[in-house]
Chains A and B, each alone.
Chain A
């Protein structure tokens, strides 16, 4: 297991300030929360006060959405310094970012954009990850993307690409199971095949989220990684497959759009915890045998 696996191997939730009071009064055991780093890069104000309070009671994961690790150009040094400050201030148990790009010389595009899997991209991503880890002074986790298209010039399968990155940089992986399902549907591959090639030994955190379905024509659909509803049943099934293989891992429920009441989010957390508890019993059974 990578060094960056200090979150409790239980369900966590993407933190939304709207849930703050409910969370404080919910009597949660071993829960943890993840924040989007960029939302806490203001100099001060209520967001920081809330986060300081949350941090007193819970383990924390800082999840960047704007570093643009896959950009062809250099990383934004000011942004790296802001990340360093945030990690210094809140001492999170984990820091993660995406295998994607989102910035270009003409601006920040506010979306996680896809990369061709080539030797050039591999070199670029690895050198950026090494730089991040050097500045932050800790290993990071890298998340697999959700994809809507692929590139003719890609020569390396995604699982192999991720595996090679962990070897070259020492980073861990954040396995987003919903992203696997979304990409598999959109790009027409078997998610079980993908998972059987996934470097599970490097996974330190799981993401689960809901996706939307966009009808194209007739029966053709694209799945959109919308984070706007409960986790779907096929994604739960894949998640169980993963946890059987890996044992219990910190598992985040992400819900970023049409944010529901805390009690609704809590249902998906409870369901993840049920899977995680079963994983303990698989292991015990295996040990007895």
Chain B
């Protein structure tokens, strides 16, 4: 058997417990080749499940460890990583949850997963030097409208249909009694780099639109005008978010 054929058969059997093991594997009288192959089967699936558990701790907490492991086992067999860089494995896990029948009643779960995935992407994104906290104050007022910003590569703005940040914060805080009244509407969240990793800040209505417009290279004036279309847009709160998150690395 060629090495390529062997590795094909091996891979298929690793990911499908029902499939026959490849031919030519040697066991012993006491321990069959099939039983030995099971060690590799288990290593592959359990190490990938473990990677997802580390990546999505709040999803795991919400559904419970045992359920998470079973659900993640299905995911990893169907969507093994495409790259050996495991720190971002699970990109499609939020979408998988959206279509996974047994969690259909937890409609907010895919948003929580998406929150956790963005958080790790920002955690590992490129480093950059942010402008000093008072940079905006030093811009002459008449130049403000035409200002174009370059955002920190380790940042993201996301709109969630459910209150993903509130759910995440409450679950991360530990076992603190009965659940509070979570907001009924979704949340817009700014993710940014901070010393310990990734920070997350709630944005007021229109904030996500404003920051996304800026990130796309639109001027401060144009972005503000677009965002004003959102009825409760709060420009000063959004600017506060931008400054507190040290979001801007360059202005032109």
Q: Is A216 in contact with B39, judged by CB distance below 8 angstroms?
A: no
Q: Are A38 and B125 in contact (CB under 8 A)?
A: no
Q: Are B81 and A72 in contact (CB under 8 A)?
A: no
B17 at the interface (CB under 8 A from A): no
> How many A-B contacts at CB < 8 Å in the complex?
138
Q: Which residues of B contact A107 (CB under 8 A)?
A: 79-82
User: For residue A64, which residue of chain B has the nearest CB?
Assistant: B84
Assess whether B84 is in contact with A79, with CB atoms less than 8 Å apart.
yes
Q: From DSSP, what is the main secondary structure of chain A's interface residues? A: mixed
Task: Give the complex CA separation of A115 and B1 in angstroms.
Answer: 12
Q: Which of A46, A66, A110, A118 has the most CB of B within 10 A?
A: A110
Q: Are B84 and A38 touching (Cβ within 8 A)?
A: yes
Residues of B within 8 A of A222 (CB): 31, 35-36, 39
Interface residues of B (CB under 8 A from A): 1-4, 6-8, 10-11, 14-15, 24-28, 30-31, 33, 35-37, 39-40, 43-44, 47-48, 51, 79-88, 123-128, 153-154, 193, 195-197
* Residues of chain B with a CB closer than 8 A to A116's CB: 3, 6, 24
Complex Cα distance, B40 from A104, in Å, reads 15
Binding site for B on A (CB under 8 A): 38-39, 41-48, 65-68, 71-73, 76, 79, 82, 101-104, 106-111, 113-116, 118, 120-121, 124, 148-153, 186, 188, 214, 216-217, 220, 222, 224
Report if A102-B84 is in contact (Cβ < 8 Å); known contacts: A109-B44, A150-B26, A216-B35. yes
- Could you tell me the distance in whole angstroms from the C-beta of A45 to the nearest C-beta in chain B? 5
Please determine whether A152 and B24 come into contact, CB atoms closer than 8 angstroms: yes
Minimum CB–CB distance for A196 against chain B, Å: 23
Interfacial chain A residues near B2, Cβ < 8 Å: 72, 120
**With A and B bound together, what is the CA distance between A150 and B128 in angstroms?**
50
- Among B4, B123, B124, B193, point to the contact of A73 (Cβ < 8 A): B4
In the complex, the answer to whether B25 meets A149 with C-beta atoms within 8 Å is yes
Pick from B3, B27, B126: contact of A120, CB under 8 Å? B3
Does B30 lie within 8 Å of A216, measured CB to CB? yes
Are A110 and B48 in contact, with the CB atoms below 8 A? yes
Contacts of B128 in A (CB 8 A): 44
